[in-house]
Structure 1
């Protein structure tokens, strides 16, 4: 089939869909993570082994959220990048650090929960905060090594005003191979480890009648949060990212398919969904601390009172 007869990919969808999503994620994520990190740091001496990973989750989220205003400008200007090629690569690198750092720390939380519940006597007193800090540093290093090759792929090609999420079409075949390997090591293996850990934990909790009901409820809540994050944020993104790269490879080889446009749009939607992880990660804070949950209720009550007061003031101003 001739390339000129290929269905036109609707690139305009990105500039219409992503900016509102990024604005929502930026506002909600910055407030939620800032408030969660403040609460965790305030109770630093009470931090457990798992909460060290939760702290790193928050830091990864804030790192990514600070790059969102630049991406908002980019998509509002219909994919015109005005901040330079170097900062473009740094912005994409921060996204990858956040995404795969989050997956890595969620996996660590799952492994620690597994050890504490299934093998409590073997790890009691042997796993310290220092161990958690060491593991966190190793996670950052591993994620950095996985993400570093992405920095060497051109993000603009012949157009200096572009900031591609992946790379230019000239290098798309090599990038697809890199992306598949990255998906395997950065997503699939951690996902399988997480499923294995919590699958075993749920079996143990449900098979022992002597198990603490509060512990069982907390583990089931955390499992639900993890399933929510993986199902909404991570699985669709990796699936449609690689499908979209494959479709670009086929298009470059003058092999056209009617589903190319649908895959591109699905990939853009998945990009919006994966950004939500920075706004959903604070759910881990709620799971891990009753104090933070209480503070959230108080915060919502204050916001409601402030809204009512503002409404009353506005009504009085209108009458006068």
Structure 2
């Protein structure tokens, strides 16, 4: 919500057209990818390793957020008219924050485990247990929940309107900016620095050591590429434009209209759509971290070929049986020499 003196005409156009389109794409791709990946993970539950515990929790956080997207799609498709009540509005926004920062947290855990396994394999042998992985996962959920709870106490709706604010009302913008800066530091900047430190050291070790298996090097490079994709497309633009937009609103509250406000708001709306794509891109982590899923994908063409072969064999057998029946029928209708 902007100050009346700082409103631009195309704000509603950006929100009502861009966001629902990106939400729709994310819901379709994300729901199919996460449901399929989680199904294969649960089928191999007994074989789950330490890192795969984090992958499973990553998928659960994605699914939790994806269930809220249809309500947001309705909200923006109808011109920002929230019809589901104030409590559910806060729940929807809470699930978004929970998914966002749990995703970053679990990606950080995966990076740290990969770092320890490559750089300190002997020292960490026997210490990276499933029990500890589960305990760390629970800790991530608790920390992110505690970090996100204050957001619930900021007003998300306004009396006499049917809005569901992504941040808070205009009157609380300056307070929300302070909270957001702390939130960004603890939930995004610190994990990003940890990931950069881990993979920076891993890159040095992979270049210097010739004893590391080629497959392990390839997995590390692929996972690094996924991290770069997620952070450059989803996380970094969102946090930059998110805080700049809040800062602009805080200035607007003082009746100060900055020249870059319109561009920042446009960038913020685009980044809001892109950050939700993390639920559609995170299944790439499933493919990289779980070997049985990769092998399952590789076997799909072979399974399809076998299916076609069975269909062809069945068709050939059916034609052969039909031809035999026709020949038998023709022979039964041919009169014999002793017939009248």
Give the TM-score, by structure 2 length: 0.86
Residues 5, 255 of structure 2: 8 Å contact kept:
no
1:189 aligned partner: 190
2:201 aligned partner: 200
1:267 aligns with 2:268: yes
The CA distance in 2 between the partners of 1:117 and 1:193, in whole Å, is: 16
Relative distance call for 1:96 and 1:302 in structure 2 (3 A) is farther
Paired positions, count: 304
Relative distance call for 1:67 and 1:6 in structure 2 (3 A) is closer
1:283 aligned partner: 284
Bigger shift: residues 88-97 or 10-19:
10-19
Q: Which runs of structure 2 are paired with 1:144-293 in the superposition (5 Å)?
A: 144-293=145-294
Residues 9, 261 of structure 1: 8 Å contact kept:
no
Gap regions ≥5 residues in structure 2: 309-340
Residues 52, 290 of structure 2: 8 Å contact kept:
no
2:10 aligned partner: 10
Please report how far the alpha carbon of residue 79 of structure 1 lies from its aligned counterpart in structure 2 after TM superposition.
Answer: 0.6
SS in 1 for 2:128: coil
Bigger shift: residues 135-144 or 159-168:
159-168
Please report how far the alpha carbon of residue 164 of structure 1 lies from its aligned counterpart in structure 2 after TM superposition.
Answer: 0.3
Relative distance call for 1:68 and 1:208 in structure 2 (3 A) is same
The CA distance in 2 between the partners of 1:198 and 1:279, in whole Å, is: 24
Please report how far the alpha carbon of residue 186 of structure 1 lies from its aligned counterpart in structure 2 after TM superposition.
Answer: 0.2
Relative distance call for 1:122 and 1:30 in structure 2 (3 A) is same
Bigger shift: residues 284-293 or 121-130:
284-293
Cα deviation, 1:109-153, whole Å, max 9, x if unaligned, reads: 011111111111111112210000000000000000000000000
Relative distance call for 1:242 and 1:260 in structure 2 (3 A) is same
The CA distance in 2 between the partners of 1:131 and 1:98, in whole Å, is: 22
Relative distance call for 1:4 and 1:133 in structure 2 (3 A) is closer
Residues 30, 279 of structure 2: 8 Å contact kept:
yes
1:71 aligns with 2:72: yes
1:127 aligned partner: 128
Bigger shift: residues 137-146 or 158-167:
158-167
Runs of 4+ aligned residues of structure 1 deviating over 2 Å after TM superposition are 3-7, 157-160, 293-303
Cα deviation, 1:234-280, whole Å, max 9, x if unaligned, reads: 00000000000011111111111222111111000000100100000
The CA distance in 2 between the partners of 1:169 and 1:299, in whole Å, is: 53
SS in 2 for 1:52: helix
Give the TM-score, by structure 1 length: 0.91
Relative distance call for 1:155 and 1:194 in structure 2 (3 A) is same
1:107 aligns with 2:104: no
Cα deviation, 1:145-186, whole Å, max 9, x if unaligned, reads: 000000000001234411000000110000000000000000
CA RMSD of aligned residues (A): 2.0
Cα deviation, 1:172-213, whole Å, max 9, x if unaligned, reads: 000000000000000000000011001101110111122211
The CA distance in 2 between the partners of 1:62 and 1:232, in whole Å, is: 20
